[in-house]
Structure 1
């Protein structure tokens, strides 16, 4: 028997501290969508949080779906990114009056009480439209399941990657001169039409960098070539999450975990965590990275052309393709033993409806399958399609540099499956603040680790507003 959805009051209690950081009112004011379902058309409402370049791309995809499906009245609503979006979506599911389909970060799934705030997908219905479980990386697909049902269908993965300035790297002798035209992965065709606006590196490729020692030598060579720090990373800022994502990348490479599989116990490994934190601290102490840079500053400093490397999310590819910066991208090097990189995934979910079913539910499944099959367009913004058949399509392989780090789809390090984790979550903000001090010098690595452990325990002690997973 389906579980009853929580009350609106319990939803507001659970999301309240997050909503306060972004403003629930602003989310509510942006949720109304004009009616697009005329007589004889099936109504299909889609809520999402895509702005900027992603928003432009999404709108084009939605227009293409409308053109090809005149019998479906697709209404889309773009809500404010972050806590406000999740508050609004949770309230809609709690009331059973939600849209037919919505976007959700995969890492936020446990906090949406699958079976209460979300309805499961009909996998047979998806299969009729050409989408099956075997089309996705197993680990990502598995994270979308709960209680034997599938509640989230992965659209992409958006990982931390290594941006590199090809001119600076050439001066520093860091490009792969042994095979001048060699592509990082088989099947790539050269600079595609999506990269034509920028100077995205041509055939210049960064030589493989493995291990802390080799990466450090590359940073030193870059500094000697330019007189500037070789690496830019986000170290501080209001609600900064960059330090957490940086740590999560390399701690996962070291084989460490943060919480146990049930997300009820802290499992931090002191030796592995301190090894990573001490290396992170050395980046600024040894002059390889600026000490005090917020997110916007990191993006801008790399665009100045003085630094060899930037570690950030692949979504910034759109920024650099519109400038004259000579750059390319690759996976974050394996420095600590495993080729992992922090990531999250955009997914499609079915918010709970008291009367879900019929033509509108079928249209929701058809819409999700269509978006997956056409996700080459979505990949132009840097995201790696989760629907594997797209990864071998010539149109995707011609995207440069977006297709060059596609193999990371099998090595993503997601936040632990806790209701308080994930994108725009309390955990990322809390731990980002704790680790920011390690980079800026206000905390030692030991103090930073102790503070991370304390904040994790505080989060674990906070009652789950939905009373545990379905």
Structure 2
């Protein structure tokens, strides 16, 4: 996109972002993005979507920058997670009133980049500060690249991982000589045997996972398993369905081999999964690493976290996403403001050991290899998952909190519940995907 975005195109982009967020209407975030101004009220204006523990850690990192740069002011604004955030970020940028630095999930990057809303990183001044490709987790840097141009600086990788109850695993004979780490396992047979061993050791279930009304988690689980056998389910920038029917049927059959015999509940909400794992009634938990801070608060729970082993296919795969730092395009931004934004980005990277306390793996290798991070457990145990990361397929409709994840995840939930057999589920997934691949994107993706 060059020059000013037309009103028609701007509204089309807003509509596309609303679809990716799965919301029925655009309310105040859209309106304020269209009409609200972003005056230069600080040297660096920063927008993010972090609350809770992540929000607290981000504030610590912001304050570290302020302390190191006492003459530089930072104004940080926290907006609603998901679609409200991305809609306002896109429309504020399109209307010429963006922040200097923003957060984006890398899975959301393709649409923002295709719309011309982001400054290429080579123009953002960070390269002069040593922010270069060789200093990042390769998978995250690759995902930050759209059509050969890097549009984001990865802050982390947050993978879907395998939690386990250490005490139950010890009773089940699943630990190595250290008494804390799982013995190596590979393939679906060994994995299912481990779930059975947990149940035999006294757990009510071998594993637990949030399923009911949690399509995003169902999608993460499916995508991880399926990606061991086949490539993305949509290709050509999201315009073509590319299902490997045999691989997908095998994936669904494997998933039902766990829920069918009762090794994992067929239907379970998030709080139910939390209770089962927290009370030792489930040996394993399938979830994102961002849940680690919550389980640390559970008195008497001795748990560890590792990447999933290879399940289907020869190599392990980790479903993941990444938070990244972007510089929204603003022709009015001065070189001085650009330089301050670059220093702010570099500072957040340098202090990302603080960010890792929320469970995330730093994408910045100097921190990932530092004592500050390697002293954090269990975070150091699943670093490999960041290197084996598999992200959402590239399309304008995929990504964190998207309607795409809700739609395909709902079909996967039916499989886990046993209401849809593997072969019929493949047909249902094909129909789900066709809905998106035939939809008209709000911007050209190629």
TM-score by length of 2: 0.93
Aligned residue in 2 for 1:199: none
Shift of 1:358: 1.6
Show CA shifts across 1:294-347 (max 9, x none). 233222321122111001100000111112211010011111122111100111
Q: Alignment RMSD, CA only?
A: 2.3
Q: CA 1:319 to 1:26, structure 2 compared with 1: closer, same or farther past 3 Å?
A: farther
Show CA shifts across 1:103-148 (max 9, x none). 0000111111346221222368213222111111333212212344
Shift of 1:34: 11
Aligned residue in 2 for 1:113: 113
> Is 1:288 matched up with 2:290?
no
> Is 1:229 matched up with 2:231?
no
Summarize the alignment of residues 198-209 of structure 1 with structure 2, pairs less than 5 Å apart. 204-209=180-185
Q: CA 1:164 to 1:36, structure 2 compared with 1: closer, same or farther past 3 Å?
A: farther
Aligned residue in 1 for 2:281: 306
CA distance in 1, matches of 2:330, 2:38: 20
Question: Which sits farther off after the overlay, 308-317 or 297-306?
Answer: 297-306
Shift of 1:24: 4.1
Q: CA 1:33 to 1:222, structure 2 compared with 1: closer, same or farther past 3 Å?
A: farther
Structure 2: gaps of 5 or more residues: none
Question: SS of the counterpart of 1:351?
Answer: coil
Aligned residue in 1 for 2:169: 169
Question: SS of the counterpart of 1:308?
Answer: strand
Structure 1: gaps of 5 or more residues: 181-202
> Is 1:127 matched up with 2:104?
no
Contact 1:6 1:466 in 2 (8 A): no
Contact 2:239 2:438 in 1 (8 A): no
Aligned residue in 2 for 1:11: 13
Aligned residue in 2 for 1:438: 415
Aligned residue in 1 for 2:387: 410
Show CA shifts across 1:19-53 (max 9, x none). 6628644646999999895xxxx621111111111
Question: SS of the counterpart of 1:160?
Answer: strand
Contact 1:33 1:75 in 2 (8 A): no
Contact 1:47 1:79 in 2 (8 A): yes
Question: SS of the counterpart of 2:428?
Answer: helix
Show CA shifts across 1:34-88 (max 9, x none). 9895xxxx62111111111111111111111112112221000111111111111
> Is 1:75 matched up with 2:75?
yes
Aligned residues: 440
Contact 1:22 1:83 in 2 (8 A): no
Show CA shifts across 1:271-294 (max 9, x none). 111111101012111111011112
Aligned residue in 1 for 2:196: 220
